[in-house]
Amino acid sequence: MAATQNFADIRAQFPILNQQENGHPLVYLDNGATSQKPQMVIDALARYYRQENANVHRGVYGLSERATEKYEGAREKVRQFINAASTKEVVFVRGTTEAINLVAQSWARENLKEGDEIIVTEMEHHSNIVPWQLLRDQLGIRLNVLRMNNQGEICLGALQGMVSEKTKLVAATHMSNALGTINPVKEMTEIAHSVGAKMLVDGAQACAHMAIDVADIGCDFYALSGHKMYGPTGIGVLYAKETLLEAMPPYQGGGDMIYSVTFEKTEYNVLPYKFEAGTPNISGAIGLGAAIDFLTAIGMEQVAGFEHELLAYATESLSRIDGLQIIGQAKNKGGVISFIIEGVHPHDMATLMDQDGIAVRASHHCAMPVMQHFNVPATVRASLGVYNNKADIDRLVSAIEEAKDMLL
């Protein structure tokens, strides 16, 4: 009971949820695309620009020192949140997409050669496919796909059978944004390491929904996006093991990533600054730090437990709708429900639901190979966050029923 009370209070911290959409109270169920921001994150951003703004790592004056302290404080919060060994392993980037491109163009470009192989799963977001295709075309490497079954699950035995001494990297999502599947990334890491390959985990979706422990997973790279975990857009994190970062060439050149420059030679800055060229997204990092404070105050175990219960309720409620088919029924699944309704185009469904104030997404969810697997052009996706509740699900269900009546 205490937990229920608790989560009602949490919802009240999100001012955007107090507004109406098309004359109805907003029900926001597009957390897979981006999350809403709690007051404390909005306050942290406003406070920064009102009282703390200065460039970091440069000034000797108080304001700049305070901005630097806040920025580096946010890095320490990220370190604790993902259980990295050191803040040297926490590189601020724009988001998951940039983190993966950084690994592709720095680590992989330096270490892979023609004939080497990278394995991705069939359920990857385009951000964990296209950077490897670009690299494939640059280096002549191979990109192999670990297929999933019709529940939307991969098979560890199949991965075991695919890896060889040619495999240099396994890149997989921790949680699928299109299906909700939670992958066994720790076991996948062990398989990758058994042949000397590295493991990259795309944590863009997982970071808002479960405790993340990179030391326990054992992965070499972990990518996440601030905006999916109640933080601002334009900030994300690449975690990488220190030894790997030390050996990797810079991704971009410019200010902050150098120690000294002459026209003959440039010496690079120490970690993690070697990978943070240019003035960083200071306010974004501070906002992400506030989002981490928000999540850790609830506790990630509690977040996962709450959403698990809500997912079960939603799955049961939606399953009762005639003609509705849930796409993605993995045993280990986070708060994402993708579905189709016989005879109804997903876009028409989502458009009608918007009329009822319900924000869901109808698309391929940047995972077109997933749509190809299930032989559908798109799905409607309801994705949960900490502020959703059973009343939201009930409104979702009646809106679907109403839309069905109109469209069929």
Ligand X SMILES: *Cc1c(COP(=O)(O)O)cnc(C)c1O
Catalytic residues, by residue number, are 366
* CB-nearer residue toward ligand X: 129 or 352: 129
Nearest distance in Å: CB 190, ligand X? 22
Q: Phi and psi dihedrals of 315, rounded to 5?
A: -60, -45
* CB-nearer residue toward ligand X: 67 or 93: 93
Nearest distance in Å: CB 93, ligand X? 9
* CB-nearer residue toward ligand X: 364 or 395: 364
* CB-nearer residue toward ligand X: 118 or 324: 118
* CB-nearer residue toward ligand X: 95 or 250: 95
Contacts of 278 (CB under 8 A, 6+ apart): 252, 254, 255, 256, 257
Beta bridge partners of 325: 340
CA distance 14 to 65: 31
Nearest distance in Å: CB 33, ligand X? 7
* CB-nearer residue toward ligand X: 127 or 283: 127
Nearest distance in Å: CB 172, ligand X? 10
Nearest distance in Å: CB 283, ligand X? 17
Return the number of other C-beta atoms located less than 10 Å from residue 20's C-beta: 9
Nearest distance in Å: CB 332, ligand X? 15
Q: If DSSP states are collapsed to H, E and C, what string results for the chain? A: CHHHHHHHHHHHCCHHHHCEECCEECEECECCCCCCCCHHHHHHHHHHHHHHCCCCCCCCCHHHHHHHHHHHHHHHHHHHHHCCCCHHHEEEECCHHHHHHHHHHHHHHHHCCCCCEEEEECCCCHHHCHHHHHHHHHHCCEEEEECECCCCCECHHHHHHHCCCCEEEEEEECECCCCCEECCHHHHHHHHHHCCCEEEEECCCHHHCCCCCHHHHCCCEEEEEHHHHCCCCCCEEEEECHHHHHHCCCCCCCCCCEEEECCCCEEECCCCHHHCCCCCCHHHHHHHHHHHHHHHHHCHHHHHHHHHHHHHHHHHHHHCCCCEEEECCCCCECCEEEEEECCECHHHHHHHHHHCCEECEEECCCCHHHHHHHCCCCEEEEECCCCCCHHHHHHHHHHHHHHHHHHC
Which residue in the block uniquely carries the two structure tokens 């560890």? 156
CA distance 360 to 354: 8
* CB-nearer residue toward ligand X: 203 or 357: 203
> Per the structure block, which two tokens stand in for 242?
């220190």
Q: Phi and psi dihedrals of 355, rounded to 5?
A: -60, -25
* CB-nearer residue toward ligand X: 127 or 379: 127
Residues in touch with ligand X (CB under 6 A): 95-97, 125, 127-128, 173, 177, 202, 204-205, 225, 228
